[in-house]
Amino acid sequence: MAVLSSRSVDPMKYNTSTQMDEQNSHASAKPEDEQSVSNISVQIVNAEEKLAKRIFARKNHGKSKSKKKVKRTTIWNFQNKIVLFTLILFVIGVITWTLLWLFIVEAENKDALYFVGLFRVANIEFLPEYRQKESREFLSVAQNVQQVMNLVYTTSAFSKFYKQSIVSDVSNNNNGGLLVHFWIVFVVPQAKGQMFCEDCVAAILKDSIQTSIINRTSVGSLQGLAVDMDSIVLSAGLRSDYSSTTGTGTNCIYDLYADRLHQHFPLDITATSGRMICYFKLIALVGHLIRLSIVSIQIEADNCITDSLTIYDSLMPIKSKILYRICEPTNSLMSFVSTNNLMLITFTSMQIQKWKEIHGYFEVITQEKCGNTILTKERTGFEGRILSPYYPSYYPPKCICTWNFQTPQKSLGIALKFHNYTISEKSLKGCERGWWRINEHMYCGYYIDHQTVFHIANSVVNIELQCSSKLSEQPLLVEYGSYDISQPCPAGYFQCSSGLCIRQAQHCDGVNDCFDESDELFCVMYKVNCNVSFSLQRSSLACDGIHDCEDGRDEQNCTKSIPCNNHTFQCRDNVCIKKQNAKCDGTVDCLDGSDESNCSCGSGKISNIYHRIVGGSDAQEGEWPWQVSLHFVGVAYCGASVISREWLLSAAHCFQGNRLSDPRTWTAHLGMRAQGNAKFVTPVRRIIVHEYYNNRNYDYDIALLQLSVPWPDTMKHVIQPICIPSLSHKVHSGEKCWITGWGQRQEANDQGSIILQKAEVEIVDQTLCHSTYGLITARMLCAGVMSGKKDGCKGDSGGPLSCRSQSDGKWFLTGIVSWGYGCGRPNFPGVYTRVSKFASWIHRYVPLVL
C-alpha cells in the first residue's frame, strides 16, 4: 500500500494526466469512475485541490458553472481512471515479480540428490525379455519394484523430499534371482542436503525389509519382493550418470553380452573431439565371471580430472562397487576380474584436445577356488608358489583363500617368500589392504619394493588370506618351501624374531628391515666393535652403501663403486663411457642419461651471495630457490621442492584424503620468501603419490607434483631446481644440512610463519634414531639436534632437507620433511623421507635431463 500511495502522487505522472485530462475535457463523466476514485489513497486529495483551483480560475473567465461542473467531473474520472489503471498494472507487476522471484529462489535453493544402488530379488526368475527395456516384461517388473520403492520412501522420514525411483537394469546373476539396479531421486532444500547420507537412505530400505530370525537367511520380504539384505548396495550418484543411464543423456551406452567362455571380446575406445562419456555394460554367462584386460590406454595424465576409465563390479556407476580407476596412460597389460557375471566400464573425457585411445578386451572366465592343501618336500628350499586369486590379474576385493601346509617332518617349518610384499603383525587398527591369519596370528599385508621371507616354525601351517581392500589389488606371488627349524636362514642371512630372513648385511645397519625391529636390537655394542674388529665383521658391514662405522672405514676402498678409470665416466647403470667430459656436455652419452643429470640443479651460485651456513632463522630472498609453498584451497599447507621446470617433490602424506588428493585444490608458490609474495604461482596439474605409501608408518612418504604451468626461464634468478641424489649417494651421520619452511615455529603454536625459516640440523645416526622411534624403515632418515629446538613442524611437511655436497658444492635433496614425535623435543629428531632410495622412481616420471 505504501508503494501504491507514493506512486499516486508522482508529480511527473500527475502533470501528464492533468494535461491529458484537459485535452479530453469533453468526455462524459461516469459515476462508477467516481466510485473507484474514492477508493484511492488519501494523497489524491492534493491533486483534487489543484484541479479545483484551476477550475475556479477558469470560472472567473466567464464560462458557465454547470458546464464546468460536468467538465470537472469528467476530468476527474478520466484522470483517476488512468491513475487507477497505472496502479493496478503496478500491483499486478509487483505480485508477478514477487511470485517469479519466489519461484526462482525456491528452485535455486533446492537440490536434486541422486542415489544409485542395487539389490537381489530372490523370488523372481530372470527372463531374456528383461534385456529389452521397452519389453512388457521389463516394464512390468520395473514398475513393480518402483512401486515398492515408492511405498518405502513415501512412508519414511524423507517422504517430503522423495521424488521417484527408477529401475535402470534387471539382470541375471551368479546368486540366482534378479539383480535390480535402480536410482532414487530426492529434491531437497540446500540446507537439508546434509541429512541425506548414503547410509541413511540405505538404512530406510534395509529397515523396511522383514527378515526372519528362524530362517537364518539374509533374504527378507519387502512388500512381496524377496530381497537379499546382504546384496543391498547404495551410494550417492552423479546427475550426469543418472540422465545417461535412465535414457535422457548420452547415447554412448552399450550392453555387451559375452556368451562364450575364454573368447576375447574386443573393447576399443577412441575419442577424437568434444566431451565424452561412455558406458559399456558387460554381461557374462550366468555362473561365470568377467575378466577385463587393458592392453594400452592413452589418456591425459591428471588424476582423472580430464580423463578416466572406471571399472565397476556392477552394471551402474555405484561408487562402492569401483574395482579400479585408471587415470594414467600405460602400455603395460593390466587385467581385472569381477565378483559376479557383470561389469561396467565408464570412459569419461572432459575435453578432447589430443587423440584418446583405449585398447583392451574382455572374456568370460570360470570362478576359481583359491587355496589348497600342500604337502611340502623333505628337501629344504623353495619348491612352489601360492598366488592371489586370478593371478596375474588384479584380485577382486572380496576373497578368502586358505592354504593348509604340512611338512614331512616335525623338524621342518614353512618358509614363505613374498614378492614385493611384506606382512607385519596386525595392530588394533584394521588392515587396509587385506589381512593374513597364519596359525592364529593376524598380520596386515603391505606392498613394498622388495622381497621378504617369512618363517613359520611349525610342521602344520594354516594360512588364510582375506582380501578386504576397497579396490582390486595388485597380484600377489608367494614362494613356499620347507626349512630346517633349527637353522632357519640360509648362510649369509639373519633371522628376525618374526621368522623373516634378511641379508646379514641388513642386520644392525640402522634400518628396520625386519619390521619388528629385531634386526636393530642390541646393535650398539656391535657398533662399538666396528673399529676394534672391523676385519671380523667386514663381510656384513663393508661396501653395503651404508655408513656403519663412525670413521666410515666400512665404506672406504669399495671397488664396486669405482669400476671406471680416470678417463672414463661412470653412468648410473655402472657402464663406463669414454669421454671424461661427457658429463653435462648437453649430449646424452649414458644409456640411462645419467651423464646429463644434475647438471643444472642445486647451483651454488646463489649460495655464494648468501652465507647460508650462518645460523639465524629468517631466510634471505632467493636463498632457497627450490623451496615451494603448497597452498591447499588458498591456505599454506605443505612444502615442496623444485626438481625440474614442471615437477616438484613433496611428501605423500600431504595428499591423503578425497580433497587433498585432488590437484585442483592446490597451488604452488615458487620463488617466495614472505607468504603472499611469490614470484610465480601456478595450479597443480597432477599428483603422483608413491604406490607403496603406507599411512600407518609413513613408509614411502613421497609424492611428485606436476605443475600446470612450468616456471619460465625469466625466473631463473629466483627459482632453481635442487639435485636428486642417486641411489649410491651417501649421507653421513653428523653431516650438517638445512631444513626450510613456513610451518609452525613451535609445537604448541598452530600458526605458520610469514617469512621462510631455515635451521641447520645434523644427520642422525640411523641406529640411534631407530632406538628412539623403533619403526624406521630403509626409506627414512633422521636429522635434528639432540637438544631439540631445530626441527621441522606442522606445515613444513613435504619441504626439503637440503645438504650441500662436499665434492662439487651442489645442493642435494637428501630428505623430505615427513614425521616425528612433536616438534623440537630433545632427543626426538625429525624423520625424513630418504630421497636417494627414490631416484629411479622419480626418473620414471621426470626426465633426467632438465
CB of 186 to ligand 4AZ, least distance (A): 40
Peptide bond into 266 cis (omega under 30): no
Interaction of residue 445 with ligand 4AZ, rule CB under 6 A:
no
CB of 781 to ligand 4AZ, least distance (A): 13
Q: Where does residue 175 rank: exposed (0-12), middle (13-18), buried (19+ CB within 10 A)?
A: middle
Residue of 228, 830, 833, 835 interacting with ligand 4AZ (CB under 6 A): 830
CB of 782 to ligand 4AZ, least distance (A): 10
Interaction of residue 745 with ligand 4AZ, rule CB under 6 A:
no
> CA distances (Å), 693 to each of 32, 670, 779, in order?
88, 26, 11
The letter for the amino acid at 386 is I
Interaction of residue 177 with ligand 4AZ, rule CB under 6 A:
no
Span of 105-113, 129-137, 368-376, 819-827 interacting with ligand 4AZ by CB under 6 A: 819-827
In terms of CB distance, is 534 or 819 closer to ligand 4AZ? 819
Residue 759 parent element (H or E): strand 757-764
Grid cell for residue 287: 555362473
Task: Tell me the per-residue interface mask from 549 to 588 with ligand 4AZ, x by CB under 6 A, - otherwise.
Answer: ----------------------------------------
End-to-end CA distance of the chain: 75
Residue 231: strand pairing partners: none
Span of 111-119, 144-152, 725-733, 793-801 interacting with ligand 4AZ by CB under 6 A: 793-801
In terms of CB distance, is 235 or 833 closer to ligand 4AZ? 833
Phi/psi region, residue 35 (left: phi>0; alpha: psi -120 to 50; beta: rest), is: alpha
Grid cell for residue 809: 658444492
Span of 141-149, 194-202, 600-608, 785-793 interacting with ligand 4AZ by CB under 6 A: 785-793
Span of 175-183, 268-276, 435-443, 787-795 interacting with ligand 4AZ by CB under 6 A: 787-795
CB of 756 to ligand 4AZ, least distance (A): 16
In terms of CB distance, is 92 or 786 closer to ligand 4AZ? 786
CB of 545 to ligand 4AZ, least distance (A): 26
Span of 32-40, 463-471, 600-608, 815-823 interacting with ligand 4AZ by CB under 6 A: 815-823
Interaction of residue 796 with ligand 4AZ, rule CB under 6 A:
yes
Span of 201-209, 426-434, 470-478, 791-799 interacting with ligand 4AZ by CB under 6 A: 791-799
CB of 429 to ligand 4AZ, least distance (A): 19
Residue carrying C-alpha cell 589381512: 435
Q: Which are the catalytic amino acids?
A: 653, 701, 797
- # of chain residues touching ligand 4AZ (CB under 6 A): 11
CB of 829 to ligand 4AZ, least distance (A): 8
In terms of CB distance, is 299 or 823 closer to ligand 4AZ? 823
Count helices and strands (H / E) in the chain: 13, 42
Interaction of residue 793 with ligand 4AZ, rule CB under 6 A:
yes
Residue 787 parent element (H or E): none
Interaction of residue 819 with ligand 4AZ, rule CB under 6 A:
yes
356-366 and 288-298 strand pairing: antiparallel
Q: Which DSSP state fits 529?
A: H
Q: Give the residue nearest to ligand 4AZ (CB).
A: 820
Interaction of residue 764 with ligand 4AZ, rule CB under 6 A:
no
Contacts of 763 (CB under 8 A, 6+ apart): 731, 732, 733, 734, 735, 737, 781, 782, 783, 803, 814
Q: Where does residue 340 rank: exposed (0-12), middle (13-18), buried (19+ CB within 10 A)?
A: buried
Please give, one letter per residue, the 3-state secondary structure of 22-44.
HHCCCCCCCHHHHHHHHCCCCCH
Grid cell for residue 320: 562402492
In terms of CB distance, is 458 or 772 closer to ligand 4AZ? 772
Residue 704: strand pairing partners: 649, 688
Interaction of residue 740 with ligand 4AZ, rule CB under 6 A:
no
Q: Where does residue 191 rank: exposed (0-12), middle (13-18), buried (19+ CB within 10 A)?
A: exposed
CB of 797 to ligand 4AZ, least distance (A): 4
Cβ count near 559 (within 10 Å)? 7
Grid cell for residue 319: 561408487
Residue of 642, 649, 823, 846 interacting with ligand 4AZ (CB under 6 A): 823
Interaction of residue 518 with ligand 4AZ, rule CB under 6 A:
no
> CA distances (Å), 13 to each of 6, 16, 71, 95, 363, in order?
11, 5, 21, 22, 82
Interaction of residue 481 with ligand 4AZ, rule CB under 6 A:
no
d(CA 801, CA 698): 17
Span of 11-19, 204-212, 568-576, 817-825 interacting with ligand 4AZ by CB under 6 A: 817-825
In terms of CB distance, is 671 or 830 closer to ligand 4AZ? 830
Residue of 482, 797, 802, 836 interacting with ligand 4AZ (CB under 6 A): 797
Interaction of residue 791 with ligand 4AZ, rule CB under 6 A:
yes
CB of 351 to ligand 4AZ, least distance (A): 36
Contacts of 700 (CB under 8 A, 6+ apart): 448, 652, 690, 691, 692, 693, 694, 779, 833
Closest CA to 840 of 718, 729, 678: 729
Interaction of residue 719 with ligand 4AZ, rule CB under 6 A:
no
> CA distances (Å), 588 to each of 75, 259, 336, 728, 842, in order?
100, 53, 39, 21, 18
Contacts of 527 (CB under 8 A, 6+ apart): 508, 548, 549, 550, 767
CB of 695 to ligand 4AZ, least distance (A): 13
Task: Tell me the per-residue interface mask from 404 to 423 with ligand 4AZ, x by CB under 6 A, - otherwise.
Answer: --------------------
In terms of CB distance, is 417 or 794 closer to ligand 4AZ? 794
Interaction of residue 794 with ligand 4AZ, rule CB under 6 A:
yes
The letter for the amino acid at 823 is C
Grid cell for residue 86: 497505472
Torsion sign over Cα 501, 507, 511, 515: positive
CB of 748 to ligand 4AZ, least distance (A): 13
d(CA 811, CA 805): 6
Interaction of residue 817 with ligand 4AZ, rule CB under 6 A:
yes
d(CA 667, CA 685): 9
Most distant CA pair in the chain: distance in Å?
143
Residue of 792, 802, 804, 848 interacting with ligand 4AZ (CB under 6 A): 792
CB of 400 to ligand 4AZ, least distance (A): 38
Q: Which residues bind ligand 4AZ (CB under 6 A)?
A: 791-794, 796-797, 817, 819-820, 823, 830
